[in-house]
Structure 1
Amino acid sequence: MLDIEAEAPLSSHDEADAARLVAIAESLGVNPTDLDEAVHDAAARYASDACNTAGQAQDDDVADDIYDEAGRQAADDVNNHGLDRQVPYLVAQYGAEEAEEIIRAAVDS
């Protein structure tokens, strides 16, 4: 079963970075929908790994199901809970520096 690690535990340092980045996102007026794509992209890496590891990339129907599940988890478990869930997820997946770049880029788009 695919798990995009929507609730991956953060170190205390990463938790502090995530809290700081949530505050930055809020101060910049980032709408949670602005981060949806970044969350889906991170989740898609799990789907890609699952397809490649299981050798299922050749079966389009199976691969589609895996990517659909990653998308469902990204939406249900992360994006639908707003910045307070999205930002820590991005920190867990990419690190604080890249997560901040994603947040700041969301403002510019």
Structure 2
Amino acid sequence: MIDIEADPDLTPEDDAAADRLIAFAEVAGLDPANLDEWVHDAASRYASDECNSSGSDGDDEFDDAAHDEAGRQAADLNNSGLGNQIRYLVSQYGAKDTEAKLRAVAQVDAAA
């Protein structure tokens, strides 16, 4: 049914950027839980696309099942660690946006 592409095949450039961002996140002491919602948001797009392209025509049961499955996959990804989260976010949003988000999260964490 739904595949949120949780194991992305990154380009060499994105792979290098992801490695750099993972190192940044580890040095900054980012908590993987701070990225959970962002991963879920990216995964939710897959469920929405599936619902829109399926012709389910507002079938609540189908739509709920699609979103539940995307949420389950996102939770599995979130539980697999910071590195996998960051690789996924780079694949979904690009290195530049992922870096901006990580830096914003690091500032919030540092201020807390």
Q: Is the TM-score greater than 0.5?
A: yes
Question: What are the ranges of 5 or more consecutive residues in structure 2 without an aligned counterpart?
Answer: none
After superposition, residues 2-41 of structure 1 pair within 5 angstroms as 2-41=2-41
Equivalent residue number for residue 65 of structure 2: 65
TM-score, normalized by length of structure 2?
0.91
Amino acid at match of 1:92: S
Please provide the CA RMSD for this pair. Answer: 1.2
Q: Give the 4+ runs in structure 1 shifted more than 3 A.
A: none
* Inter-CA distance 54–33: structure 2 relative to 1 (3 Å threshold): same
* CA deviations over 1:6-57 (Å, ceiling 9, x no partner): 0120011110000000011112111010100000000001011000000225
Amino acid at match of 1:25: A
Equivalent residue number for residue 98 of structure 1: 97
The alignment-based identity, stated in percent, is: 55
SS at 1:9 equivalent: coil
Which has more radius of gyration?
2
Question: What are the ranges of 5 or more consecutive residues in structure 1 without an aligned counterpart?
Answer: none
After superposition, residues 32-51 of structure 1 pair within 5 angstroms as 32-51=32-51
| Partner Cα separation in structure 2 for residue 9 and residue 33 of structure 1 | 23
TM-score, normalized by length of structure 1?
0.93
